[in-house]
Amino acid sequence: MTKLLHNKVAIVTGAGRGLGRAHALELARHGARVVVSDIGAGTPGSPADAVVKAIEALGGAAFAIDVDVTNPVQVALMVKAAVARWGRVDILVNNAGILRDKSFAKMSLDDFRLVMEVHLMGAVHCTHAVWNLMREQQYGRIVMTSSSSGLYGNFGQANYGAAKMALVGLMQTLALEGERHNVRVNCLAPTAATAMTEDLLTVEDLALLAPEAVSPGLVALVADDAPTRMTLLAGAGSFEQANITMTQGIFLSAGECHPEALMMRFSDIADRQAETVPATGFDQLRHEVAKAKAAQA
């Protein structure tokens, strides 16, 4: 065990299997005390209890708790239990998730809503439950689990993609609001072989995509020196950053500002030379007003 996260208190949702299990173990290896949150935790032989035993075998401290992240009352009780045992919560890893994959034409609204409830509202419930605690203690590290399905799209995952991109938007704003309180918020977009991907990939690809290859990225996002507002992509030993950028675009005067003129210049609008990563949403406004004033001059 290392001391990178010595005595930090971490909550990991969906921690009984797959990525959540790998995250919980990696956090513990670096000294964190871990709340292993999972549906069914506490029942004999549950995956969450097995994770706790594995952490204890490493010399770490952990306890399992049965939590449905769509239930804010259960989430609040989980945070209360963590504080009662260890006095604080330093790290929150919003990992819990489900799949209900179908093409949008065949997808029921119930399946769309359920995926949004688990991924998006589950993360909202957990984050809301620790937010003021982290602000008051002037320390917090929160990771949202995003996905390439949200960032770039995947056929048959309209519900999942919508939820995962919504988490990026949540991260962007919370990182700004948490900055002066030393609460850093990031996204992790993993590629890993889990129960959610086993039917989607070849055996050869699955062998390369161990969840354990992602978790070092997770630890880097919750360390004392972690960045904030980063969307870190991770899988098979590779790490990349995703950015939402803004091109320089074009300006059309009042006399030429009509749909036909715009349509003729889509390629100019899409030109990525000198594109920027806006610091806040107001940067779009500033950029557009500056172009309009320059044209007037």
Confidence of residue 193 (pLDDT cuts 50, 70, 90): confident
For all residues of the chain together, what is the average pLDDT? 95
**What digits encode the pLDDT tens for the residues 134-177?**
999 999 999 999 999 999 999 999 999 999 999 999 999 999 99
**What digits encode the pLDDT tens for the residues 213-253?**
999 999 999 999 999 999 999 999 999 999 999 999 999 99
pLDDT score at 206: 82
Assign domain 9-242 to its CATH superfamily. Answer: NAD(P)-binding Rossmann-like Domain (3.40.50.720)
Q: What is the pTM of this model?
A: 0.95
Q: In 10 A of CB 123, how many CB atoms?
A: 28
pLDDT score at 118: 98
pLDDT score at 192: 80
The residue from 118, 160, 184, 213 that is catalytic is 160
Query: Active site includes 160?
Result: yes
What does the domain layout of the chain look like in residue ranges? 9-242, 259-296
Mean of pLDDT values over 171-195: 93
